Amino acid sequence: MGGICDCCLGSNSVQSNPLHDEVPLRNDQFPLSQTSDESATIHLPSLHVSANLGQDSSSERKKIYIITAPHSTCPPSHTSSTGHPCDSEAGSNAELLHKLLDHSLLYRKPLSERAKGDLNRHETWNDPWRVKLRELVQSSTCEGVIDVHGFPPESSQYDYYFISQDPNAEFENFLSRYVYQQCAEVGIYGPEQALKGLENSIMIDALQFKSKVILIEIREGLSDYKKRKLLEALAQGVKKF
């Protein structure tokens, strides 16, 4: 994986070409299945990610999208908790998007749940999870960040929506319109334009490094068919922009 490892992950920890060195996943990573040779797992002492570089022989020169799910770690009692302590389906949705989107990198699952530190907020700026993510985003091989979240079904009329942190929002609004058009045809509904939302520190960091940013919220309990169609539309829209 020359291009990604040397530029995106730093050059002081990798001694071989990790595209051909599959390493078992730790239990703090999303449960990625080894289903094809399109994806490989990179293991560094402080980082565990999976990279999907597709079939293109020029993939080492392609820029990548980093996929995150910062609220995907749930407390043991989350099914009986009041409120919304975690995004219980965000991890599996991020994994599926990673498999659908060539030239993407799935960033590791947080070690602790949201109540112990919200990784979308400025107060966690110095958290090791955020520090390593910024190193990846600052690299010359990072094209953008896709931040995956979820919301309880009773909290919105939509099946999904995008939240914008970009004052210009050209990228997010293009994706919103494209996904809206593709999904409405199969009965999946969201707003046609990205919404303005609460401050997301991950997205603000990425914008400062001139990266594209996408924050997608997906209704929990959406059928597997609709989730796949939604994420297929998102992956296609990213490629078309």
pLDDT in tens, 58-96: 445 589 999 999 988 887 765 545 667 788 899 999 999
For residue 136, what are the contacts with CB-CB under 8 A and spacing of at least 6?
Answer: 8, 9, 66, 105, 107, 142
For residue 162, what are the contacts with CB-CB under 8 A and spacing of at least 6?
Answer: 172, 175, 176, 179, 190, 191, 194, 195, 214, 215, 216, 217
Segment 197-203 mean pLDDT:
88
Q: Is pLDDT above 50 for 6?
A: no
Checking DSSP bridges between strand 142-151 and strand 64-68, what pairing results, if any?
parallel
pLDDT in tens, 28-65: 344 333 233 333 333 333 344 666 666 554 445 589 99
For residue 202, what are the contacts with CB-CB under 8 A and spacing of at least 6?
Answer: 68, 70, 119, 120, 130, 133, 145, 147
**E runs forming strands in 45-194:** 47-52, 64-68, 104-106, 142-151, 160-164
pTM for the model? 0.75
Q: Is pLDDT above 80 for 204?
A: yes
Residue 42 pLDDT? 34
- Confidence tier at 168 by pLDDT (50, 70, 90): confident
Q: What is the largest CA-CA distance in the chain?
A: 50
> Would you give the distance in Å from CA 55 to the centre of its chain?
21
Distance CA 183, CA 161 (A): 12
Q: Which domains, from first to last, does the chain contain?
A: 2-240 (3.40.630.40)
pLDDT in tens, 114-148: 777 788 888 889 999 999 999 999 998 999 999 99
What DSSP element (H or E) covers 130?
helix 128-138
Residue 82 pLDDT? 61
